[in-house]
Amino acid sequence: MEKRNIIVMGASAGGIEAFQHFIACLPTDLDAAIFIVWHMAPTVHGILPQLLSRFTAIPAAHAYDNEPVQTNRIYVAPPDHHMLVENGHIRITHGPKENRFRPAIDPLFRSAAYAYGNRVIGVLLSGALDDGTAGLWAIKHRGGLALVQDPQEALVAAMPENAIRQVAIDYVLPVAQLATQLVQLVGEDVSETPQVSMEENQKIKTEIRIAADETALGLNLSEYGQPTRYACPECHGVLTQIKEGPLARFRCHTGHAYSVDTLLAAITEQIEDNLYGAVRGVDESVILLNRLGDKLADANQPKQAGTYFQKAQEALRRGEIIRQAIRSHEPLSLDSLAHQATGTTSDDRFQELHPANTPLITRPM
């Protein structure tokens, strides 16, 4: 009988501290392979393996393409590359960004669920927005376990909170207790992975192939969703909506993928960029109109010059309207909207997720 021994972990903002604390609580002889994705800018030097090595004797390093999977190892996704798990080895790819990140958490979780089924334990720690939620859903859908850091402890609570809202999480605990619980789970016997439909199997395989940097053009994503009116914020291609249980996600034909929360954040951030582009165009027209007016004035053509100066002033007034729109504009996320709608604090939202006297451990014992 097979054992639970594939651990996939993801975090974003606040994740370094959570990873260090978590790894420090693990025994050095843990009989499991650990795969870690941490959101980072593509230009950032990958220092996470060195940092983790200060807290554990388990070997930690950036994974390389086609590296064999071994237990008692920590594999870290290198900067600007997705890390995927295949049966017995690792893929390191430069596939399209998911949720605006590469590496992203969902591709790792999704690939592990596909390759190892109920042998997988997914762990989601501190971070903004909701990368990792769809990946945890895939893990649960194939019989694996989902563990989430207590949002009240997380430096940035949105990522754990979103997962709790949308996925049947097995354990919600502070990091130290989460690590202890994981040690108890590692090595459990597992039965056969639950059967999934042929369509679901093909869809997850297709998305893994996209993250593996295979062209999305010939993979016909429209088979698994419905075209929308939304344009991809990165390449402006048409987004297809993909549904998984209660979750809705979006992917364009070039492969970029978004959760609802990430798409909303990207669109509202792009509005500000577009407004600044309009301000730039207005400012350039003011400069040009004034220069042309000066030349006409020097040429003793005051009437014509006055027309140019007048149009420059009208453009300035329009520019100020756009600047006012920029000042009042705000990037939006589902978390910020929920907070505005209810007027709740982060502590209030935590109590909604965990009513009084409700234990944080949610998996039947």
State yes or no: pLDDT of 360 exceeds 90. Answer: no
State yes or no: pLDDT of 210 exceeds 50. Answer: yes
Tokens describing residue 310: 């007048």
Place of tokens 């390759």: 115
Given a contact cutoff of 8 angstroms between Cβ atoms, the answer to whether 127 and 15 are in contact is yes
- Condensed to tens digits (0 to 9), the pLDDT of residues 295-338 reads 999 999 999 999 999 999 999 999 999 999 988 888 777 777 77
Residue 82: CB atoms within 10 A of its CB come to 29
288: three-class secondary structure by DSSP: helix
Let me know how many helices (H) and strands (E) the chain has, helices first: 11, 15
Kind of pairing between the strands at 225-231 and 238-244? antiparallel
pLDDT band at 118 (very low <50, low <70, confident <90, very high): very high
Main-chain dihedrals φ then ψ at residue 307, nearest 5 degrees: -65, -45
Using CA atoms, how far apart are residues 284 and 171, in angstroms rounded to an integer? 57
Place of tokens 């709740």: 344
Q: Which of 21, 81, 130, 131 is catalytic?
A: 131
Main-chain dihedrals φ then ψ at residue 159, nearest 5 degrees: -65, -50
Q: Determine whether 170 is an active site residue.
A: no
Q: Determine whether 131 is an active site residue.
A: yes
The interaxial angle of helices 175-185 and 15-24, nearest 10 deg, is 50
Kind of pairing between the strands at 145-149 and 60-62? unpaired
- Condensed to tens digits (0 to 9), the pLDDT of residues 173-207 reads 999 999 999 999 998 899 887 888 888 888 899 89
Using CA atoms, how far apart are residues 344 and 365, in angstroms rounded to an integer? 33
Query: What is the per-residue pLDDT for 133?
Result: 96
Q: Which of 21, 39, 81, 256 is catalytic?
A: 39
Place of tokens 């989460």: 178
- Kindly report the pTM of this predicted structure: 0.85
Identify the CA nearest to 139 among candidates 170, 167, 109: 109
State yes or no: pLDDT of 209 exceeds 60. Answer: yes
85: three-class secondary structure by DSSP: strand
Identify the CA nearest to 30 among candidates 5, 63, 62, 1: 5
264 Cβ neighbours under 8 A, 6+ residues apart: 332, 333, 334
Kind of pairing between the strands at 33-38 and 6-11? parallel
Question: Which letter does DSSP use for residue 15 in this model?
Answer: H
Q: Which of 12, 111, 126, 259 is catalytic?
A: 12
Given a contact cutoff of 8 angstroms between Cβ atoms, the answer to whether 126 and 156 are in contact is yes
* pLDDT average, residue stretch 45-62: 94
* pLDDT average, residue stretch 118-131: 96
| Residue 83 β-bridge partners | 92
Mean pLDDT, all residues of the chain: 89
Place of tokens 């025994």: 27
Query: What is the per-residue pLDDT for 281?
Result: 94
Given a contact cutoff of 8 angstroms between Cβ atoms, the answer to whether 175 and 162 are in contact is no
- Condensed to tens digits (0 to 9), the pLDDT of residues 4-37 reads 999 999 999 999 999 999 999 999 999 999 999 9
CA 309: distance to chain centroid?
49
Using CA atoms, how far apart are residues 327 and 344, in angstroms rounded to an integer? 25
Given a contact cutoff of 8 angstroms between Cβ atoms, the answer to whether 78 and 108 are in contact is no
Q: Determine whether 12 is an active site residue.
A: yes
Question: Which letter does DSSP use for residue 101 in this model?
Answer: B
* pLDDT average, residue stretch 63-87: 97
Question: Sheet harboring 60-62: ordered strands across?
Answer: 60-62, 73-76, 33-38, 6-11, 120-124, 145-149, 171-173
* pLDDT average, residue stretch 100-114: 97
Tokens describing residue 102: 């590469």
Query: What is the sign, positive or negative, of the torsion defined by CA atoms of 6, 7, 12, 17?
Result: negative
Query: What is the per-residue pLDDT for 331?
Result: 76
Place of tokens 């605006």: 100
* pLDDT average, residue stretch 79-100: 95
